[in-house]
Amino acid sequence: MAGRGKTALVTGAGRNIGRAVALGLAQDGFDVVVNGSSDRAACDRVAEEARGFGVAAEVVMGDVGSAAECARIADAAIARFGAVDVLVNNAALRPQKPFLEMTEEEWRRVMAVDLDAAVWLSRACLPGMVARGWGRVVNFTGMNAIHGYAGRAPVSVAKHGVWGLTKALGKEFGPKGITVNAISPGPIAADDEAGAPLSSYRQAIVARVPLGREGLPAEVATVLRMLVSDGGAYVNGQMLQVNGGAQT
C-alpha cells in the first residue's frame, strides 16, 4: 500500500473531516497519530478503527493553539514512530461573532488554532521530512479563506494566512522532495448531522452550491489521500476546492 512504512499526524482527528482523513490514510497503509484537544474517547475510537486496517495508531492529545503543545505533539509522534511523513493541519475554530464585539483574547485564540498551529507543527515535522527527502503537508483553508464572511473575520484572516503559508512552504520545500498543499472544503455535513434538517444558516450556504447538497467528510478525505499518494507527487503549492462548485 502507498503509505506502508510511513506515518501521518492528523490534528482534530476525533470527528468529521479529521476522522475521515485519519481512517482513509490508515486504509492506505499509513500508521496514524490521532490528535484531539478534549474528547479522548472519540480519538480512541478513531485509533481503534484505524488499527482495523492493519496499521499502528496512537492517540496524542493536546491543544494545537499552543506552540509548546505543538512541539510536544510532534515529538510524541516522532518518538513513537520515528518520523512524521505526512502532516495534516485540520484542527480549527470557527466562531461566529460580530467584529466589533470580539475581544482580543477571542481574536488571538482563533489565530493560534487556525493559523499558528500550522506554523509550529510544520516547523516541528519538516526537518525530518527534509532529512528523508520526502514529505507531505496538507493544510485546510475553507470558503472563509476565499470569500470572507460577516461575523467570521478572525477565521477569514487566519485561513487566508494558511493559504499564504501553503504557497510559501510549497516553494521553499518543493526542491527538497516535499509537497505542501491546501484543501478548501465547502459546507460539509458533520458526523452527527447526517440526515438532520439544516439550520437556516446552513441552508443559505448550501443554496450557493450547484450540486445542491452538503459534502461528506469522506469526499474531502479522498482528495487528501490523492495529494499524499505517489500519484499526487506533482501537485504542490495548490489549494484544491472541494465545495460542490460553490463560487460565492
Q: What is the pLDDT of residues 91-133, one digit of tens each?
A: 999 999 999 999 999 999 999 999 999 999 999 999 999 999 9
| Percent of the chain whose predicted confidence (pLDDT) is above 70 | 98
More confident residue, 73 or 1: 73
More confident residue, 151 or 57: 57
pTM of the predicted model as reported, rounded to 2 decimal places: 0.95
pLDDT for res 12: 97
Write out the chain in H/E/C secondary structure.
CCCCCCEEEECCCCCHHHHHHHHHHHHCCCEEEECCCCCHHHHHHHHHHHHCCCCCEEECCCCCCCHHHHHHHHHHHHHHHCCCCEEEECCCCCCCCCHHHCCHHHHHHHHHHHHHHHHHHHHHHHHHHHHHCCEEEEEECCHHHHHCCCCCHHHHHHHHHHHHHHHHHHHHHHHHCEEEEEEEECCECCHHHCCCCCCHHHHHHHCCCCCCCCECHHHHHHHHHHHHCHHHCCCCCCEEEECCCCCC
More confident residue, 158 or 246: 158
Q: What is the pLDDT of residues 31-76, one digit of tens each?
A: 999 999 999 999 999 999 999 999 999 999 999 999 999 999 999 9
Quick one: fold of 7-242? Answer: Rossmann fold (3.40.50)
Which of the residue ranges 41-45, 80-84, 207-211, 221-225 would you say has the lowest mean pLDDT? 207-211
Extract the C-alpha cell encoding 221. 478525505
- pLDDT-derived band at 85 (thresholds 50, 70, 90) equals very high
- pLDDT-derived band at 134 (thresholds 50, 70, 90) equals very high
In the predicted model, what is the mean pLDDT of residues 172-176? 98
Extract the C-alpha cell encoding 231. 500519484
Distance CA 120, CA 137 (A): 13
pLDDT for res 248: 59
pLDDT for res 198: 79
- pLDDT-derived band at 197 (thresholds 50, 70, 90) equals confident
Distance CA 81, CA 132 (A): 14
Alpha carbon separation from 188 to 107, 127, 168 (Å, rounded): 24, 33, 27
Say which residue the cell 481512517 belongs to.
23
In the predicted model, what is the mean pLDDT of residues 206-220? 93
Q: What is the pLDDT of residues 136-147, one digit of tens each?
A: 999 999 887 777
Mean residue pLDDT of the chain comes to 94
pLDDT for res 247: 76
Radius of gyration of the chain measured on its C-alpha atoms: 17
